[in-house]
Structure 1
Amino acid sequence: MKKRLLSALVCAALVFGLAAAGFAAEANPTVEEAAQVLSALDIMTGDENGDLHLGKTVTRAEFTKLTVAASAWADSVGPAASVSPYPDVPKSSWAAPYVQVAKEKGMVMGSLSGYFEPDRNITLVEGVTMVLRLLGYQDSDFSGVWGSGQMAMYQSLKLDKNISAGRDDAMTRQDALWLFYHLLTAKNKSGQVYLATLGHTLTAAGEIDRVALVNSVMEGPLVAEGNWQASLPFAASTAKVYRNGKAGSLADVQSLDVVYYSKPMRSLWAWSNKVTGSIQKISPSASSPTSVTVGGQTYTLETSSAAYALSDLGAFQTGDTVTLLLGRSGGVAAVRTPGESAGVTYGVVTGTGNASYQDKDGKSYTASTVYVTATDGNPYSYQWEDKNRKFEAGDMVQITAGDDGFQLKKLSATSLTGRVNAGGTALGGYDFASDVEILDTCGDGAALRVYPSRLAGVSFKDKMVRYYVLNENGEISRMILSDVTGDIHQYGVLTDVTESALGMTLLSSYVYDVAGVPGAYTSKTSIWNLEKGPCQIKMDGKEIGRIYNLTGAELTAVDGNTAVAGARQYTLSDSVAVYELRNKKYYLTDLSRVTGGGYDLTGWYDKAASEGGRIRVIIAEAE
């Protein structure tokens, strides 16, 4: 009657619309998180609209169905019962197949008079008894008045958390939800965690891994084109929809998005990632392709349809210009021509040179190449033989794909000013699109993708925005910045500074430590007027271009990613470097080690938060 997929797929480093606080079952999960787990396991899935009706009471027949769904025999339930399991449960009843399996496997018992009473509301003690039978306990394992031992075990196994019903009270569906949720992490009579007996693994901490569960029931992918919704096993209009990891609506799903779905969860996950470029290589061969190289990047083929399209039986071959539609794990879900997918890429040139390519016969040749970091943060390479149009590192470019190949065009600056709101959803008078791509750049090609939340509260002035693009809804879809976040640079401490000016001769030597790795920079032509202590290092290619001292603030508290200095709050960098200063020497340490008391802390930042700054370095000195 139901098909349970027990093999968990590899977790991708992506968010599938799960709670941002983490994917393992928390010590105090919300109702929504618990419901998501039971839905993924096809235990409690709700009605045709996904409504769980948690306030309603549960009948014995309904609870039996839940119990069977949570058991190892869930797949053995047929479409109809072969016999009438009880006089009051005829074989024609919707509940008969479940009650028959439950009776045969010892999960349920009838009354002394031989009836099951399927329509009577189930009491907590009855529900607990059925769940304990899933854990391998029988009535004979308990002494005393019936039910007292079961209720004691119920409390001992911590199955009672969040449940409001008393022993003889009628259970609500919310009570049932919590009972089955806690069942999953309870140990059975043999000492094995129950969820593991169903074929699912737990995290190293022994908790429920919701990502693995969602992966195990996720199907697809489909491409959002034509009548794609007809391929779903439920009405798309009733589904929960996530696009690029964010909750949304069906209207947010765009043409040629790659879509995954889950019937028990009644959910859709859409991804908009695309790559346009020339096919440089099909590996290991066109007769049996498993990967394709486009724009200098190699992508695994995720679907049989993508493999067919790139095989010697399909429509594409080496040298063709294509757009790859990428799935949630970054593999190729489908292949389309650029005309179908309107392949336009924006980015910054990181360099030029020669690269090796394959022609349609599989023979290698060398051609001039432009290397670009696109707004999606990935590096690409494009064959470019037009000697009249040259590109240099740092140039902003637009790459347009067509049937006849690529066109690269330099972009002129289009400045934008305003403040990003606290939610990181809008800049000035423009909203950020749900699939916005933002690239922060510095110098001759250094680039890093950043996300709108990183820019929350930043005031954009002058030339902080180098270029932006609006989509058809008037939202910012692509944006290139000029060193707004400072996250491109390296941060550490200067451990020694030597500077001298003798007449026209300038000499300098700087010794530094970045993340515990020492380094040095010397110059015979300049001095930078630096002091020992926390610093920012800006690179020029592979060489140091400039070093700056940071600005300090004595911290009175650190909580999470926030530091307090007097009446001011500062945000810590995600990669804040922490050093202990002992006997005038710096020792790399961990923030958790120095925030428990006993240390004076100083935070060092590169610029104001309103300009994109963060505390980059924390120095701890013993009190």
Structure 2
Amino acid sequence: MKQRILSALLSAAVCLGIIGAAGLAFQTRAASFSDVTDADTAEAVAVLSSLGIVSGYSDGGYHPDDPLTRAQFCVLAVLAEGHGDQVQSSAYRTLFSDVSASHWAAAYVNLAQSEGLISGYGNGRFGPDDAVTVGQAVTIVLRLMGYTDEDVGPLWPEDYMQKAATLGLTEGISAGSGDALTRGEAARLLYAMLQSDTADGQAYIARLAASTVEDAALLSNDAEAADGTLHTALVYAGERGLTWYEQAETLPDTLVNRRGTLLLDEQGRVTGFLPGDDTVRTLTLAEADASGVTDESGNTYSLSSSTTLILDEEATTYGSAWYELEGRKTVTLYYSAAGSVDLVTASDSTAYEGVALTGYYEAVSPNAANPDSITLLGLTLEVDEDALDSLTQFQVGDRLTVVLNGSGQVVYACTPSERTAQMVGLVTAGGEECSVELFNGLTVSGERTSSSSVSVGDLVRVTASGMGTISLSRITSNSLSGSLNVAARTLGSVPLAANVVLYDRVGQSAAVQVELEDIRTGTVASSDITYAGTNAAGEVDVIVLDDVTGNAYTYGILRTGTQTEGSGEMQVTNRTVAVENGSGTTQDYLTGTQVRTGTVGGVAATSDGKTAGVVLLEEVEGVARSAFSGEDTVVLEGVQVPVSEDVQVYNTDSETWVTLAQAKAYADTFTVCYSGTLGEDAVVRVVLTE
């Protein structure tokens, strides 16, 4: 075969009945077809289309229910055996009285007859325009696979139909042997043949390639290779690692994220892809940790630390890079024949998609005419090639706005008059040189202007005031009004973005990131929302709550004391409180709250060593081990209460902090301490053995 030439492509049009069919034009390579709704048929058509065996119509359809003629199926058979480049040698001959040398399919019919794939009616006629029956098509396919009458049996078509069924060739085809074969059924039949071995035990698909790559995961059909070659197929194949292949024709999108056999021509270009039977699952990612991933429906998938992980076209292991899955929309799990996940891939990062920054052009490398990276607001940002046209209009010292892609690269630049970014975040470092963690996930820094008076933990708006300098202004009110409806995912009448980020804090304490499910009430009053911001689409993409979830406190056993400052008449003694838990004991925080030492509670602290809030936990004594449902919930006074992921557990006998599992193995009953109100927003924070 092994190269498809123009005649083979033209023959694909012929086999579809397009030549001579008024009003329909040849469509070379459709990645998918709007009228193929059955998943198995769609996959068959996609694979055969990528190999140039079938094609669709100019109306975007494949017409799966249309019947095929005997001449059309001859064309399919010749292409499916890889002999499309041999038809010219069979042209200009007349082997059947009704297939003259000028007949559009003569070369294919003649070649099929000379190879023993077909025969006529016995009266010198072939019947090119007669509908091909299922039995006739099955017979041709078995002959393509190398089976003879001696292998199959003397009765036709019964023995051939039985043999095809045994080999799995007719799976999904319910029509009888004498019924007309449809285009959809033809695709199913030929696809099953490609997936099978020949009569002599060789993989049929090997006939259609100069070489193959087995167990190849097709990660992209439009990748940029390491050497800059565009529109390549990116493939991961075990010990071969990641490889970029040029494509003779772009593989269909529907085959991306499948694992199977890659077909190559003599030049090493991809000519097709045959998916295998491996299970592949693509999940919308909700959470990832060292043990595995969780999808948006709450289903968890355990992953070994040694599992191969592909991120941003680089191979690593899950255990060494699982945390980099944050900000990615989907992950794809590839299962081995044994049923375990042996490969994980992830979509490109979306963490910074559409993020805009306005600041001064502080530095560039190597130069402004051909920038690889630029610096503004103390951030060094890589430059995507898409940004070059807009970015090269600016020079160091200019004020500009840049827009980032999901990976944090600059993809566009404009003047602040065209667009000015609203930059809001929390102060993470004070002093003359200060830093602010923006709610878009980036941390900007610079010399603070003298007019800015802020403390660590303050919610601020950032403005670039000059080269290397920033101005910070406190935000004391929320610009959006209305309550947060958790179930409806709205703030007032404004919808929440799919990737909305929430923080909770107590007064001026450090903010902690929380999830919507951490909010145990149906609504949050506007008075409990410190700040809410929107993205370019007008959706709420960041919310700062004021002591709503209880997650901003550090929980454990409170240890109290005093701290004396000054001397003589100026001497002042203040109360202090610290928290002891499984992580150790915190520093002593100054507090105006009177607390008895040994009390179980929580503390939220400010950056200057003071308490922003102190809470005492409610206690339920004598809780039996059986009241716990694993480590997720516990029944308290008839109410099922969630257990915090960060629950602190104390063995009162050994006076040590342990895990909940260890405590349940040690004791029969417990004192369970919770924040909030039973039946409303209660969460278990501390457990003590009895």
Partner of 1:317: 395
After TM superposition, the score normalised by the length of structure 2 is: 0.50
Identify the match of residue 379 of structure 1 among 428, 431, 443: 443
Find out whether 1:208 has 2:280 as its counterpart.
yes
State the Cα deviation string for residues 559-606 of structure 1 (Å, max 9, x = none).
998887787555676x55697979766544789xx99xx999998754
Between the two structures, name the one with larger relative contact order (CA 8 Å, sep ≥ 6). 1
From the superposition, tell whether residues 277 and 170 of structure 1 become closer, same or farther in structure 2 (CA, over 3 Å).
farther
State the Cα deviation string for residues 323-358 of structure 1 (Å, max 9, x = none).
2222233322222222223322233333333xxxxx
Partner of 2:406: 328
Q: CA RMSD in A?
A: 6.8
Find out whether 1:337 has 2:415 as its counterpart.
yes
From the superposition, tell whether residues 285 and 519 of structure 1 become closer, same or farther in structure 2 (CA, over 3 Å).
farther
2:502–2:545 contact (8 Å) kept in structure 1: yes
Find out whether 1:301 has 2:301 as its counterpart.
no
State the Cα deviation string for residues 286-328 of structure 1 (Å, max 9, x = none).
56533333333333323x2324655xxx222333333222223
1:46–1:52 contact (8 Å) kept in structure 2: yes
After TM superposition, the score normalised by the length of structure 1 is: 0.54
1:272–1:435 contact (8 Å) kept in structure 2: no
From the superposition, tell whether residues 441 and 245 of structure 1 become closer, same or farther in structure 2 (CA, over 3 Å).
same
State the Cα deviation string for residues 78-123 of structure 1 (Å, max 9, x = none).
9xx9788999899997x999x89x989x9x9556669697995785
1:432–1:452 contact (8 Å) kept in structure 2: no
Partner of 1:255: none
From the superposition, tell whether residues 451 and 390 of structure 1 become closer, same or farther in structure 2 (CA, over 3 Å).
same
Partner of 1:349: 427
From the superposition, tell whether residues 294 and 462 of structure 1 become closer, same or farther in structure 2 (CA, over 3 Å).
same
From the superposition, tell whether residues 529 and 373 of structure 1 become closer, same or farther in structure 2 (CA, over 3 Å).
same
Identify the match of residue 465 of structure 1 among 523, 529, 544: 529
Instruction: Tell me the secondary structure at the aligned position of residue 305 of structure 1.
Output: helix
State the Cα deviation string for residues 534-565 of structure 1 (Å, max 9, x = none).
x7564544979577666678786759988877
1:419–1:459 contact (8 Å) kept in structure 2: yes
Distance 1:166 1:581 in 2: 71
Partner of 1:12: none
Instruction: Tell me the secondary structure at the aligned position of residue 548 of structure 2.
Output: coil
Identify the match of residue 272 of structure 1 among 324, 332, 354: 354
Unpaired runs of 5+ residues, structure 2, are: 6-36, 154-158, 204-212, 219-232, 237-256, 260-276, 285-309, 313-327, 331-351, 563-572
From the superposition, tell whether residues 435 and 522 of structure 1 become closer, same or farther in structure 2 (CA, over 3 Å).
closer
1:375–1:449 contact (8 Å) kept in structure 2: no
From the superposition, tell whether residues 540 and 150 of structure 1 become closer, same or farther in structure 2 (CA, over 3 Å).
farther
Distance 1:293 1:524 in 2: 39
Instruction: Tell me the secondary structure at the aligned position of residue 151 of structure 1.
Output: helix
Partner of 1:418: 483
1:557–1:563 contact (8 Å) kept in structure 2: yes
Distance 1:120 1:33 in 2: 24
Q: Which moved more, 1:562-571 or 1:435-444?
A: 562-571
2:68–2:182 contact (8 Å) kept in structure 1: no
Partner of 1:364: none
From the superposition, tell whether residues 435 and 519 of structure 1 become closer, same or farther in structure 2 (CA, over 3 Å).
closer
2:457–2:607 contact (8 Å) kept in structure 1: no
2:635–2:641 contact (8 Å) kept in structure 1: yes
Unpaired runs of 5+ residues, structure 1, are: 3-29, 219-243, 247-269, 354-367
1:324–1:336 contact (8 Å) kept in structure 2: yes
From the superposition, tell whether residues 34 and 589 of structure 1 become closer, same or farther in structure 2 (CA, over 3 Å).
farther
Which of 1 and 2 has greater Rg? 2
From the superposition, tell whether residues 582 and 486 of structure 1 become closer, same or farther in structure 2 (CA, over 3 Å).
closer
From the superposition, tell whether residues 272 and 525 of structure 1 become closer, same or farther in structure 2 (CA, over 3 Å).
closer
From the superposition, tell whether residues 430 and 149 of structure 1 become closer, same or farther in structure 2 (CA, over 3 Å).
same
2:670–2:687 contact (8 Å) kept in structure 1: yes
Identify the match of residue 494 of structure 2 among 420, 430, 441: 430
Instruction: Tell me the secondary structure at the aligned position of residue 395 of structure 2.
Output: coil
Distance 1:613 1:128 in 2: 70
2:648–2:687 contact (8 Å) kept in structure 1: yes
From the superposition, tell whether residues 111 and 601 of structure 1 become closer, same or farther in structure 2 (CA, over 3 Å).
farther
Identify the match of residue 461 of structure 2 among 395, 398, 403: 398
From the superposition, tell whether residues 309 and 587 of structure 1 become closer, same or farther in structure 2 (CA, over 3 Å).
same
How many aligned positions are there? Answer: 491
From the superposition, tell whether residues 442 and 421 of structure 1 become closer, same or farther in structure 2 (CA, over 3 Å).
closer
From the superposition, tell whether residues 473 and 327 of structure 1 become closer, same or farther in structure 2 (CA, over 3 Å).
closer
Partner of 2:585: 520
Distance 1:443 1:341 in 2: 33
